[in-house]
């Protein structure tokens, strides 16, 4: 089973003055924290629960998303 370090993780501020961290490849894999580090720490727990859920259901985690970076020209 894949680990969180094998996925793209996005961390960004939200409108409430907190931060959200999420894995774009896995629906529902997101967490909120007061700082970027807190959000990422919470995401570790959420990811673990999702891995357990997938395993119980006999499902494999989806592949990571491909990240495209646009450069201003």
Q: Identify the pLDDT of residue 69.
A: 66
Task: Walk along the chain (73 residues) in steps of 10 and give the mean pLDDT of each run.
Answer: 90 95 97 97 97 96 81 62
Candidates 30, 53, 52, 34; CA nearest to 43 is: 30
If you ran DSSP here, which 8-state letter would residue 37 be given? H
Q: Go through the domains of the chain in sequence order and give each one's CATH number.
A: 4-56 (3.30.160)
Tell whether pTM > 0.95. Answer: no
Tokens of 50: 């999702």
Q: Which residues touch 47 (CB under 8 Å, ≥6 apart)? A: 4, 23, 26, 29
The dihedral of CA 67, 5, 39, 36: what is its sign? negative
């Amino acid at each position: 089973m894949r680990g969180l370090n094998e996925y793209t993780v996005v961390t960004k501020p939200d409108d409430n003055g907190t931060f959200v961290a999420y894995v774009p490849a896995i629906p529902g894999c997101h967490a909120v924290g007061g700082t970027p580090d807190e959000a990422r720490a919470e995401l570790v727990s959420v990811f673990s629960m999702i891995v357990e859920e997938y395993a119980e259901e006999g499902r494999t985690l989806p592949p990571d998303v491909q990240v495209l970076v646009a450069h201003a020209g």
